């Protein structure tokens, strides 16, 4: 199979430039800018010869009929939404590499045995509704009524958001695939780390996708005047929050020496009353823990709160922990991993096995069949930042390995 690397790169550059001009590279889900990108993508899908639709969950799907309609489909793709100020290649590489694979088949007049589906999943990145992987959750049947009732700050519900992007939230049952509903799902993605670049290896084969556990931790003290309240009499919630942050950092750092390291981040903090002349009376923190060890991931926040509670009580503070979400670690299927390895070897490209510390739609899609991921290096491991960068050659390598992987899976 031939890959037009120049066409792939032109498409990547074109889609990446559909961005909020004041915040490159930003194309948040459920926004006019996202719809602009989607409209461009849908036109490219159609021009490539794919039967194109927005499904009931708001996923953009381009289909190429297989020679044997009784066979299960092979899914390839990723997502086109971004985090704020960072997403020039994260996600769109996978969608456009998949489109290039399908278009090559069309142009050569070759019909795969399996139906082939190119998917741009809705809202893989955490959305303003507080939920990620929305489209792939629908595919797996895990998007529920509670999710649809989530609201973003302007009051829009997720149900309304799905309708806004062209979906039909009352028909989500039509999107769900059975547990063995696909032959395979394969995604090309930037590594979002430094391993491949440091070792000068062009292709990574993902072994597993880390589990992600999020909790809301609330530290409550008492708001007081910052000038008139003596230090010994304060109940400063932000001081308690600082102790939690430091302890979480130290515990996660210590885990790096073990067989199953984890990472822990307090990436979002709300302080009340949040005034320069007021002692903070409340701090609400979002704790995110990621690891391949599900038990350790789920237990981290509760253990942190339990162990620090005496120190916080000594500061006249209380602490409460509430779950937000939990996604178990997901192993990539040996069948797909082995096929990726064969594909890369046939192209003369060295590979390395490595885990993914980031979450991906594959976690949800794995409920419907075997999944695998192909990593390519990114500059200095930077991702979710404006500096995120890859080369045309790295994009081309990923697309070529994807194309050969699809060919081998289809022949099998």
pLDDT exceeds 90 at position 256: no
pLDDT in tens, 87-111: 899 999 999 999 999 999 999 999 9
CA distances from 108 to 2, 47, 117, 186 (A): 9, 15, 18, 22
Domain CATH code at residue 231: 3.30.70.360
Residue pair 123/135 in contact (Cβ under 8 Å)? The answer is yes
Q: Are residues 225 and 313 in the same domain?
A: yes
Residue 133: what pLDDT?
95
CA distances from 177 to 131, 173, 180, 208 (A): 21, 9, 8, 22
Residue 207: what pLDDT?
95
Q: Are residues 14 and 106 in the same domain?
A: yes
Q: Are residues 228 and 156 in the same domain?
A: no
Residue 273: cis peptide before it, omega within 30 degrees of 0: yes
pLDDT exceeds 80 at position 258: no
Domain carrying residue 293:
211-327
Which residue, among 3, 10, 7, has the nearest Cα to 104 in the 3D structure?
Answer: 3
Q: Are residues 119 and 247 in the same domain?
A: no
Domain CATH code at residue 107: 3.40.630.10
pLDDT in tens, 361-377: 999 999 999 999 999 99
Average pLDDT of 225-247?
Answer: 98
Q: What is the distance between the alpha carbons of residues 48 and 102, in angstroms, rounded to a whole number?
A: 8
Residue 286: what pLDDT?
96
Range in 117-121, 130-134, 258-262, 282-286 the model is least confident about: 258-262
pLDDT, averaged across the chain:
96
pLDDT in tens, 146-162: 999 999 999 999 999 99
C-alpha atoms less than 13 angstroms from C-alpha of 17 in its C-beta half-sphere: 6
pLDDT bin (cut points 50, 70, 90) of residue 1 is confident
Residue 327: what pLDDT?
87
For residue 242, count CB atoms less than 10 angstroms from its CB and return exposed for 0-12, middle for 13-18, buried for 19 or more.
middle
Residue pair 80/91 in contact (Cβ under 8 Å)? The answer is yes
Last residue of a domain, one of 299, 327, 355: 327
Last residue of a domain, one of 327, 349, 365: 327
Q: Are residues 145 and 229 in the same domain?
A: no
Residue pair 287/181 in contact (Cβ under 8 Å)? The answer is no
Residue 173: what pLDDT?
97
Q: Are residues 224 and 239 in the same domain?
A: yes
pLDDT exceeds 80 at position 259: no
Q: Are residues 42 and 77 in the same domain?
A: yes
Q: Are residues 184 and 288 in the same domain?
A: no
pLDDT bin (cut points 50, 70, 90) of residue 130 is confident
Domain count, the chain: 2
Q: Are residues 93 and 172 in the same domain?
A: yes
Q: Are residues 199 and 81 in the same domain?
A: yes
In 1-59, the DSSP E strands lie at 51-54
Residue 42: what pLDDT?
98
Give this prediction's pTM.
Answer: 0.88
pLDDT bin (cut points 50, 70, 90) of residue 305 is very high
Residue 260: what pLDDT?
76
Q: Are residues 349 and 205 in the same domain?
A: yes
pLDDT bin (cut points 50, 70, 90) of residue 79 is very high
Q: What is the distance between the alpha carbons of residues 379 and 389, in angstroms, rounded to a whole number?
A: 5
Residue 88: what pLDDT?
95
Residue 87: what pLDDT?
82
Last residue of a domain, one of 280, 305, 327: 327
Q: Are residues 218 and 163 in the same domain?
A: no
pLDDT in tens, 190-203: 999 999 999 999 99
pLDDT bin (cut points 50, 70, 90) of residue 272 is very high
The two structure tokens encoding residue 170: 């009352």
pLDDT exceeds 80 at position 138: yes
Q: Which residues contact 370 (CB under 8 A, 6 or more apart)?
A: 182, 183, 184, 185, 333, 335, 336
pLDDT bin (cut points 50, 70, 90) of residue 325 is confident
C-alpha atoms less than 13 angstroms from C-alpha of 20 in its C-beta half-sphere: 17
The two structure tokens encoding residue 311: 């120190």
């Amino acid at each position: 199979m031939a890959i037009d690397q120049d066409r792939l790169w032109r498409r990547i550059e074109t889609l990446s430039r559909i961005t909020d001009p004041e915040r490159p590279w930003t194309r948040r889900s459920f926004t006019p800018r996202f719809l602009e990108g989607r409209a461009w993508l849908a036109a490219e899908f159609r021009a490539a010869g794919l039967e194109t639709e927005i499904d009931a969950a708001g996923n953009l799907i381009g289909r190429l009929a297989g020679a044997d309609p009784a066979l299960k489909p092979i899914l390839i793709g990723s997502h086109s939404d971004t985090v704020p100020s960072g997403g020039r290649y994260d996600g769109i590489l996978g969608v456009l590499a998949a489109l290039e694979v399908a278009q090559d088949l069309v142009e050569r007049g070759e019909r795969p045995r399996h139906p082939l589906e190119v998917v741009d999943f809705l809202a893989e990145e955490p959305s303003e509704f507080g939920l990620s992987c929305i489209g792939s959750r629908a595919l797996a049947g895990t998007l529920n009524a509670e999710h649809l009732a989530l609201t973003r700050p302007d009051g829009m519900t997720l149900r309304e958001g799905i309708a806004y992007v062209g979906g039909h939230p009352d028909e989500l049952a039509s999107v769900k695939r059975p547990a063995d509903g696909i032959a395979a799902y394969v995604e090309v993605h930037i590594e979002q780390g430094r391993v491949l670049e440091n070792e000068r290896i062009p292709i990574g084969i993902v072994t597993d996708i880390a589990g992600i556990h999020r909790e809301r931790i609330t530290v409550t003290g008492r708001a007081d005047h910052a000038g008139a309240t003596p230090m010994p009499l304060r109940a400063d919630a932000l001081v308690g929050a600082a102790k939690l942050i430091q302890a979480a950092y130290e515990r996660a750092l210590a885990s790096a020496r073990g067989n199953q390291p984890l990472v822990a981040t307090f990436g979002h903090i709300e302080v009340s009353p949040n005034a320069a002349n007021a002692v903070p009376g409340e701090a609400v923190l979002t704790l995110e823990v990621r690891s391949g060890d599900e038990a350790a991931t789920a237990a981290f926040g509760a253990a942190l709160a339990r162990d620090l509670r005496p120190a916080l009580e000594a500061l006249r503070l209380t602490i409460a922990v509430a779950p937000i979400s939990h996604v178990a670690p997901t192993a990539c299927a040996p069948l797909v991993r082995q096929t990726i390895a064969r594909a890369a070897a046939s192209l003369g490209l060295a590979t390395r096995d490595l885990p993914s510390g980031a979450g991906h739609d594959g976690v949800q899609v794995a409920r419907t069949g075997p999944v695998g991921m192909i990593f390519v290096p990114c500059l200095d491991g930077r991702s979710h930042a404006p500096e995120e960068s890859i080369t045309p050659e790295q994009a081309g390598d990923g697309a070529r390995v994807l194309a050969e992987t699809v060919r081998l899976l289809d022949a099998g």
